[in-house]
Amino acid sequence: MSETRYTRDHEWVRQEGDVVVIGITDYAQSQLGDVVYVELPEIGRAVEQGKEAAVVESAKAASEVYAPVSGEIVEVNGELLGNPAKVNDDAMGEGWFIKLRLADPKQLDGLMDEASYQAFVAEQE
């Protein structure tokens, strides 16, 4: 399994070959509270780094999920549609949102590693 990278908007991305898995961090789901709805993009859609890729709604707020990298959507986590609480239960695992075919692997280099992300979160609190 590849190293997980993070954004300042609290998304994570993990590379699996030429595909990346994307979700929101445990910190993000804890800030949102109980997730009640997830809107996922259609397969085949191209997303740009930093642009909206999905939407997550909680009892507190609705929030965009931004694409940490550019690429084409190849899979969505349909289980979230019937069970959005999976995001709260396992944000960094079974609660993933989308998988996309990576357009430019160099974009991963601009994201934070685990230690940098933890330091960033500590500054937020």
User: Residue range 96-116: average pLDDT?
Assistant: 96
Q: Where do the structural domains in the chain lie, given as residue ranges?
A: 4-104
pLDDT band, residue 2 (cuts 50/70/90):
low
**Does the structure show a pLDDT above 90 at 1?**
no
Contact 67, 49 (CB under 8 A): yes
**Token pair belonging to 37:** 């709805």
Q: Whose CA is closest to 31, among 2, 46, 52, 10?
A: 10
Q: How far apart are CA 2 and CA 62, in angstroms?
A: 30
pLDDT in tens, 63-99: 999 999 999 999 999 999 999 999 999 999 999 999 9
**Does the structure show a pLDDT above 60 at 55?**
yes
pTM of the model: 0.95
- Determine the residue type at 59: A
Question: Can you name the CATH fold of 4-104?
Answer: OB fold (Dihydrolipoamide Acetyltransferase, E2P) (2.40.50)
pLDDT at position 18: 86
pLDDT in tens, 23-52: 999 999 999 999 999 999 999 999 999 999
